[in-house]
Amino acid sequence: MYVKKIIHTGFFVFLLVILCSMPVLAYSPDATDLYAQGNLLMKNKNYTQAVAAYEKATSIAPDYYEAWNSKADALNRAQLFKDALSASDKSLSLNPEYAQGWINRGYILYNLGRTDDELKAYEKAISLDPSNPEAWFNKGYSLAGMKRYNEAISVFDKVQSLDPNYPNLAANRRIAEQSRDAAVPWYVKNALTLGIIALFAVGAIAWFVSVRKEY
């Protein structure tokens, strides 16, 4: 009897673990259909209609954080940046561990001119998903925009290790290198040459002074 009770208890625990590990079907078919419609409209660049579709999806499933995030993306592309940030706030309040939501938030913050917060958003995404090349690339782009070129180049190298074929990676890395080199003062870039010239000049002056003393 005791053994049988243990078996039943073990089976119940096993079943509970399985159920907890299964994805929760949290959203109704109507909400997911509207979300899919919104995604299609986004691909066709119909951002206003996409926003409307996502709004309907979230009205049916208020905890649909992916739909809130996509709404934020659509609003951002429609240049309604403050509304986009509000939708992003809602998405991340529902799921703070949503890496794609933090990446999307970075795009919005960039358009709002909040570069420090933009960088933090990408760093948060990286902390949640360290192998996400999109998060790393945008961090590099943000650092380059802040004229932190060496850091940006290092981050672009990280993207290269994660996804060698990432779009526009080589071009952005090259621009960061060129910008870094252009920002270095001419006298720093030519320090060695100037040093040699100065050495010869001092030697010439010393020779000239010594010759004059002899006469």
Domain boundaries, the chain: 29-190, 191-215
**pLDDT at residue 22, as a whole number:** 34
99-111 and 133-145 are packed helices; what angle lies between their axes, rounded to 10 degrees?
Answer: 20
**48 contact partners, CB below 8 Å, separation of at least 6:** 74, 78
* Phi, psi dihedrals of residue 66, rounded to the nearest 5°: -65, -40
> pTM of the entire structure?
0.75
pLDDT at 20: 38
Amino acid of residue 193: T
How confident is residue 76, by pLDDT bands cut at 50, 70 and 90? very high
In sequence order, the 6+-apart residues with CB closer than 8 A to the CB of 14 are: none
Beta carbons of 51 and 75 less than 8 angstroms apart:
yes
d(CA 42, CA 24): 26
* pLDDT in the model for residue 190: 59
- What CA–CA distances, in Å, run from 119 to 9, 69, 108, 133, 160? 49, 18, 11, 15, 19
Look at residue 115 and tell me whether its pLDDT is greater than 70: yes
Q: What pLDDT is attached to residue 162?
A: 98
Name the 3-class secondary structure at 182. Answer: helix
* Mean pLDDT, residues 183-200: 62
In the prediction, which pLDDT does 183 show?
Answer: 81
Is pLDDT at 189 greater than 70 in this prediction? no
If pLDDT is split at 50, 70 and 90, which confidence band does 199 have?
A: confident
Superfamily classification of domain 29-190: Tetratricopeptide repeat domain (1.25.40.10)
Quick check: 101 pLDDT over 90? yes
